[in-house]
Structure 1
């Protein structure tokens, strides 16, 4: 059985190169930028997960995803490099998630102005990726 990480990696690597920098509307991200955004978002949400699971009650600010994508220059990278980074980040997230004690899953904190549990953050990480992969299939391919 293939993992979601394997499926997403194979999917991204299988996209024709001419499609990787296509924008379906003027200010929409390219597929490479979406891939980079998924990675950035997972890093940020994994950090939120760490802090909340460990009981940190400091409110965690949001971030400007448009600015992150703008300065990251994802279009200058080969898709294999983006996929390699995705796999490394996902593996780190999975390793950490598997180490969280069961008693910590309902721990809550404030992120981007909203109360959220450690468990919910795991669902957000996975769901965010699924959302963007579906968007690529619907709008770009």
Structure 2
């Protein structure tokens, strides 16, 4: 199975470089999502504040940050599916703030968030099982940016790492 270091820079937009930089270059496709899930579940164990907690006005709550990660993974998994099926349609972007605003003041229960995180991640892991290298290398277009499906698991892991760091540094201190 290939590793992050095998992915070429023409398989993703420079916008995503900061997320990819948070993932070990030796990380392999068949482990990166499981390892990321374990990291997220460890973070959940460390959270002792209410999921409605915001470290500042006009910032997302802990629950909103975690739901943002779930929503982003679902969007990226859908993109991966379309690319793996060699769909050349240009896929639209999504506005993360609209998604989070739509959550409103939803009360986030730790157990329910954990269940959603696990279910979403398991579905994403399953999506990437039994795929061909050819389908993973198909270049699709989302948000006006070219990317391959094979970069997406690493983007998901990097995106989660970014938000885990934010939660640890700004919400749990």
Match for 1:36 among 67, 91, 105? 67
Q: TM-score, normalised by structure 2?
A: 0.75
* Post-superposition offset of 1:14: 3.1
Q: Say what the alpha-carbon RMSD is for the aligned residues.
A: 1.6
Does residue 87 (structure 1) correspond to residue 118 (structure 2)? The answer is: yes
Indicate the structure with greater helix content: 1
For residues 34 and 74 of structure 1, the distance between their equivalents in structure 2, rounded to whole angstroms, comes to 13
1:37-86 Cα shifts (integer Å, max 9, x gaps): 10000000000000011100000000111111111247412011011001
8 Å CA contact 1:13, 1:80 repeated in 2: no
Normalising by structure 1, we get a TM-score of 0.90
**How many pairs align?**
139
**Partner secondary structure for residue 147 of structure 2:** strand
Preserved contact between residue 21 and residue 31 of structure 1 (Cα < 8 Å): yes
Aligned to 1:120: 151
Indicate the structure whose relative CO is greater, using CA pairs within 8 Å and at least 6 residues apart: 2
- Give 1:24's aligned residue: 55
Structure 2 Cα separation of the partners of residues 5 and 35 of structure 1: 12
Q: Name the counterpart of 2:42.
A: 10
Gaps of 5+ in 2: 1-33
